[in-house]
A and B are shown apart, each in its own frame.
Chain A
Amino acid sequence: MAAFYSFMAVLALVFIAAIGAGSAGMYTLFGVAIPYVALLVFLAGFIYRIVYWAKSPVPFSIATTGGQQKSLPWIKNSPWDNPYTVTGTVIRMILEVVTFRSLFRNTKIDLRVDNVKVVYGSAKFLWLFALIFHMAFFTILIRHMRLFLDPVPACIQKIEFLDSILQVGIPTLYQTDLLILVGLTFLLLRRIVDVKVNYISLAQDYFPLFLLLGIAISGIYMRYFIKADVISIKELTMGLLSFKPALPEKALETTFFVHLFLVSCLLAYFPFSKLMHLAGVFLSPTRNLPNNTRRQHYTNPWNDPAIKPHSYAAYEDDFREKMIEAGLPVEKEA
């Protein structure tokens, strides 16, 4: 049901854009106003969320240690999975963000009821397809920078070249266009097919998947099927960027407005959703802190020095006679 609602919601967004910018011709609204508002909401929301998180302190240093600690010099430690230095922690974070190292550990269990055994299998598909999706998404985002930069920098051209290195079709196929569909489809099907994941899934888990699929499909449709007029699109995007928005002379395709509207929705939705894991992963105290709190002091800003242990004096008062009788030393004789 959650999947269905989410699908319908994205479909509705597609229709809104198709009708609004297509039949009703509200080009300025969909091409200028909504993108501006969406970007504004994205930026403000993103900053708000970071500030909201950052306002709360990290009272304790609670790294999840994933390997041998640094203790005796002759015992080899795991510098990245159990870092005790800032450098080690930075490497741990980079590996986490770029290679999804924790997800790579994933296993799956199988219970053998007949001989009472739990066995563990490899489960790398989630890691693989999640990485495919995120890498493809990131590359596509970089590629799109050509619409906002004039002249197009060499590095972006290099990425475009590499992304189309197979040289298939006209216009040449970007591999990431296929890969993002593969990644998203896997993530979506997994949510629907895997009973456990299905049971925990909420509408807000399906909605971004459908939204991203909508964005990817409309983009692919524009590039490979209707071969949208990129020059005119760049006129619009450069105008938006220079705060002199103007619609290009040649009318833009409806698909473009659908694409742009879905992207606007994604931007506006982003800061208020689980998609903020993008920023949150950097603030996760089990990953971004070194395991060094036995070596050096870590300060809790709200540590209350008034909380004292039950004092020895009170303890001795309670048990003095019994202590003396047992031959235990006491501070004050009875």
Chain B
Amino acid sequence: MAKLPPPEELVKINYSTPVKGWMDVPADFRPGTFSYPGKPDILKYLGFPNPREWSPTDADWKLPPDWREIIMKGFRERLDKYRSFKVFMDICVRCGACADKCHFYIGSGDPKNMPVLRAELLRSIYRGEFTVAGKILSRLAGARKLEEDVVKEWFMYFYQCTECRRCSLFCPYGIDTAEITMMARELLTLVGCNINWILEPAANCNRTGNHLGIQPHAYKDMMDFLCEDIETITGIHIEPPVNKKGAEILFITPSGDIFADPGIYTYMGYIMLFHELGLDYTWSTYASEGGNFGLFTSDTMMKKLNGKMYAEAKRLGVKWILGGECGHMWRVINQYMDTMNGPADFLETPVSPITGTRFDAAAGTKMLHIAEFTADLIKNGKLKLDPSRNANLRTTFHDSCNPARGMGLFEEPRYVLKNVCENFVDMPEETIREQTFCCGGGAGLNNEEFMEMRMRGGLPRGSAVKYVQEKNQVNTLVTICAIDRATLPPLCDYWAPGVQVAGLHELVANALVMEGEQERTMNMRQEPLPGFEDAEEEE
């Protein structure tokens, strides 16, 4: 693992451009800036081509002998399948409006992290191999031939893109780098160049139902363990329903939240909320993953993994599906799920059994976001909340890229947050809502070996957190994404030390006044609630 330089060193970013043109600057695989390749047994399990031991720092990447033909054929196929790909290859005017919108460019100064140049890595090949002018004029037309160095460059920079789509918001033609990165990653996968941090979770998810590879009995164990903590905090014993047939609602959330701090507090929050409501619902071990690393691999893998949600809803005979806090999960549900695996005619439009609200926004997928569900509960006065239990928290809200620019979920979580915590302030407007910045580890890049690049990409977010920390004494960054809950703690420790990361439903659980609870003296983290700090010391 590469040593991470301190923030005051890392922030000395050089934005000047190299003397050489970008086609003459080869990719430099420095530790900390790339992710480890997919392991051969994982590729074999998934049936992906060219499984082998290799490293990006090797001179020989052991590409298949006909790698060039494979990529060109794949390129042509994708041009025929996606109008977006064709149009985005043709119409960019290189105005540069996207350049400083990318968190990786802001944090690294590497010109190939400007979205326009990231796309040019593919466009240059498109011109050189598919257009007459490109073939004749070559470099003068911004065209080049497909060489092994190009593949290396693609691997570097398409795994330095988190598909956050911030650039696409500012592009006058809506050119979406996420779309381009997806195409490039599919092409790379065809010749066996992909990263383990994406493929292993995808393989796990296929077999065990979740990215972490948690088997059903272990999942149940972990859940029981969290329920014991709930009992310690509230005095209430809960046995959440799992794989229960005939329940009204199936609840699906990312597996990261059952596994690691601070996601577990949000996970416990769900259990407490549903118990308090007396909701007729069930968890599933077969569909125990909300996230979908298939989105970062290929449309086929995404469809295959996503298919479990409807398959399980059908098997259990539920009426509709409720989804937990997750980022890219909601891009998949909002923009892909019904197209890939719908229409879900066997389900009904979600209706809250507590408030009677019919959620027409989810009439197609039959899948509702927990923030929408809880906001509706609060609006209708169905929850007894004591926000003073969060009085020690001064919060701000991190909009996750995918629910922001692939859905538009802004007000619902803020409404919930403001009702469970009185101290809330937004970060500067250029860093929130549709302009939100990535955590630096989205799209499957939240691995340890990529830490330097994550911290670089995390600079804009970290800087915004630090701003409200200094100005408004913010000490808690609330988010509705499981990957954020894994990536933002190290980011805050690095760029804004002293700020902790929490899920929305962790704060809901803190504030939730439950029927028959003991006097609450601890928050979900078993730290003393405001007003009980002394009691702790006396003991």
Bound together: yes
- Chain A contact residues, CB within 8 Å of chain B: 2, 5, 49, 52-72, 74-78, 81-82, 96, 100, 102-103, 105-109, 111, 113, 116-118, 120, 126, 130, 194-205, 272, 274, 276-277, 280-281, 283-287, 291-300, 302-304, 307-312, 315-316, 318-319, 322-323, 325-329
In terms of DSSP, what is the predominant structure of the interface of chain B?
Answer: helix
User: Is A200 a contact of B242 with CB atoms below 8 Å?
Assistant: no
- Contacts A69-B408, A293-B364, A298-B339 supplied; 9 other A-B pairs, CB < 8 Å: A54-B83, A74-B379, A108-B100, A109-B100, A116-B495, A201-B94, A284-B173, A295-B360, A319-B208
Bound-state Cα–Cα, A60 to B85, Å: 12
Closest to A64 in B: B168
Q: Is B39 an interface residue (CB 8 A)?
A: no
Within 8 A of A (CB), among B334-350: 334-336, 338-340, 342-343
CB distance from A283 to the nearest CB of B (A): 5
Flag if A318 contacts B245 (CB, 8 Å).
Answer: no
B30 within 8 A of A: no
Measured CB to CB, the closest approach of chain A to B252, in angstroms, equals: 13
Contact B176 A64 (CB under 8 A): yes
Distance (Å) between the CB of B106 and the closest chain A CB?
6
Output the least CB separation between A212 and chain B (Å).
Answer: 13
Interface residues of B, CB < 8 Å — how many? 125
Q: How far is the CA of A27 from the CA of B203 in the complex (A)?
A: 70
- B37 contacts chain A at the CB level, 8 A cutoff: no
Which of B133, B245, B343, B409 is the one whose CB lies under 8 Å from A69? B409
**Please, which residues of chain B bring their CB within 8 A of the CB of A96?**
172, 174
Contact B13 A323 (CB under 8 A): no
Given known pairs A64-B405, A202-B141, A277-B91, the reply for A102 and B171 (CB within 8 Å) is yes
**What are 29 inter-chain pairs, A to B, with CB distance below 8 A?**
A55-B80, A56-B79, A56-B80, A56-B86, A59-B339, A64-B174, A65-B404, A68-B410, A69-B361, A69-B408, A72-B372, A75-B411, A76-B411, A106-B170, A111-B11, A111-B106, A120-B428, A120-B431, A126-B95, A196-B99, A196-B111, A274-B93, A277-B92, A285-B87, A295-B361, A304-B300, A304-B303, A319-B217, A328-B220
Taking the complex as formed, is B362 at the interface, i.e. its CB lies under 8 A from any CB of chain A? yes
A199 to B96, CA, bound (A): 10
**CB within 8 Å of A: which residues of B?**
7-8, 11-13, 15-18, 22, 79-88, 90-97, 99-101, 106, 111, 114, 116-117, 120, 131, 133, 137, 140-142, 165, 168-176, 179, 206-209, 215-217, 220-221, 242-245, 285-286, 299-300, 303-308, 311-312, 315, 333-336, 338-340, 342-343, 357, 359-365, 367, 372, 375-376, 379, 404-412, 415, 428, 430-431, 433-435, 459-460, 463-464, 466-467, 495
Contact yes or no, B339 A126, CB < 8 A? no
Closest beta carbon of chain B to A53's beta carbon, Å:
5
Distance of A269 Cα from B104 Cα, bound (Å): 35
Given contacts A65-B407, A277-B93, A308-B304, contact A284 B174 (CB under 8 A): yes
Q: Which residue of B lies closest to A296 (CB)?
A: B364
Least distance between B318 CB and chain A CB atoms (Å): 14
In the complex the two chains form, is A295's CB within 8 Å of B363's CB?
A: yes
A196's closest neighbor in chain B, by CB? B99
Q: Which 6 A-B pairs have the closest CB atoms?
A: A69-B408, A309-B307, A280-B91, A326-B217, A286-B174, A65-B408
The interface residues of chain A lying within 8 Å CB-to-CB of B91 are: 274, 276-277, 280-281, 284
Complex partner residue of A58 from B7, B84, B92, B407, CB under 8 angstroms:
B84
User: Which of B83, B120, B245, B406 has most A Cβ within 10 Å?
Assistant: B83
Nearest-neighbour CB distance to chain A for B283, whole angstroms, equals 10
Among B172, B303, B305, B336, the residue within 8 A (CB) of A281 is B172
CB distance from A51 to the nearest CB of B (A): 11
From B101, B242, B405, give the contact of A328 (CB < 8 A).
B242
User: How many Å lie between the Cα of A107 and that of B245 in the bound state?
Assistant: 52
B338 touches A294 (CB 8 A): yes
**How many whole Å from B476's CB to the nearest CB in chain A?**
20
* CB-based nearest B residue for A314: B207
A57 to B85, CA, bound (A): 10
CB <8 Å contact, A52 and B86 = yes
Most B-side CB within 10 Å, residue of A64, A76, A195, A326: A64
Question: A203, A293, A310: which contacts B335 (Cβ < 8 A)?
Answer: A293
| Contacting pair A72 B375 (CB below 8 A) | yes
Cβ-closest chain A residue relative to B111: A199
Task: Determine the distance from Cα of A54 to Cα of B83 in the docked complex, in whole angstroms.
Answer: 7
Are B412 and A197 in contact (CB-based, < 8 A)? no
What's the nearest-Cβ distance from chain A to residue B170, in Å?
6
Chain A CB within 10 Å — which of B114, B361, B463, B467 has the most? B361
- Chain A residues, Cβ within 8 Å of B364: 292-297
When distances are taken between beta carbons in the complex, the residues of chain A under 8 Å from B376 are 72
Instruction: Determine whether the beta carbon of A326 is less than 8 Å from that of B221.
Output: yes
Of A102, A118, A194, A274, chain B has the most CB atoms within 10 Å of the CB of: A118
A308 CB, nearest partner CB in chain B, Å: 6
Chain A residues closer than 8 Å to B111, beta-carbon distance: 196, 199-200
List chain A residues, Cβ under 8 A from B406. 62, 64-65
Roughly how many angstroms separate A109 CA and B176 CA in the complex, as a whole number?
A: 21
Whether B85 and A56, one on each chain, are in contact in the complex, defined by CB atoms closer than 8 angstroms, is yes
Minimal beta-carbon separation of A320 from chain B (angstroms):
9
Q: How many angstroms from the CA of A75 to the CA of B411 in the assembled complex?
A: 7
How far, in angstroms, from A119 to B84 measured CA to CA in the complex?
33
Chain B residues near A319 (CB, 8 Å)? 208, 215-217
Are B434 and A65 touching (Cβ within 8 A)? yes
Are A280 and B90 within 8 A (Cβ)? yes
Instruction: Evaluate whether A53 and B83 lie within 8 angstroms (CB atoms) in the complex, with A62-B176, A67-B434, A284-B175 already known.
Output: yes
- Asked if residues B407 and A103 are in contact (CB atoms below 8 Å), the reply is no
Task: Report how far A74 CA is from B165 CA in the complex, Å.
Answer: 28
| Alpha-carbon distance A58/B463, docked complex (angstroms) | 38
A315 touches B463 (CB 8 A): no
Q: Nearest residue in B to A49 (C-beta to C-beta)?
A: B90
A197 and B217 contact, Cβ closer than 8 Å, known pairs A117-B467, A307-B303 = no
- Decide if B343 touches A310 in the complex (CB within 8 Å): no
Whether A202 contacts B94 by the Cβ 8 Å rule is: yes
Q: Which residues of B contact A304 (CB under 8 A)?
A: 300, 303
Query: Which of chain A's residues has its CB closest to B85's CB?
Result: A56
- Residues of chain A within 8 A of B22, CB atoms compared: 199-200
Max chain B C-beta neighbours (<10 A), residue from A68, A308, A312, A329 = A312
Instruction: List, in ascending order, chain B residues with CB within 8 A of A203's CB.
Output: 137, 140-142
Given A126-B95, A303-B339: A328 and B243 interface contact (C-beta under 8 Å): yes
Distance in angstroms between the alpha carbons of A76 and B208 in the assembled complex: 41
Minimum C-beta distance from B524 to chain A (A): 25
A303 to B303, CA, bound (A): 9
Cβ of B120 and Cβ of A200 under 8 Å apart? yes
Q: Is the CB–CB distance between A111 and B13 below 8 Å?
A: yes
Question: What B residues does A64 contact at CB under 8 A?
Answer: 165, 168-169, 174, 176, 405-406
Residues of A with C-beta under 8 A to B179: 62, 286
**Chain A residues whose CB sits within 8 angstroms of the CB of B428 once the complex forms:** 120
Identify the interface centre among A103, A106, A199, A204: most chain B CB within 10 Å of its CB.
Answer: A199
- A202-B141, A285-B83, A326-B217 in contact; A294/B94 too (CB < 8 A)? no
Q: Are A102 and B172 in contact (CB under 8 A)?
A: yes
User: A residues within 8 A CB of B342?
Assistant: 297
A118-B463, A200-B114, A204-B142 known; A328 vs B133 contact (CB < 8 Å)? no
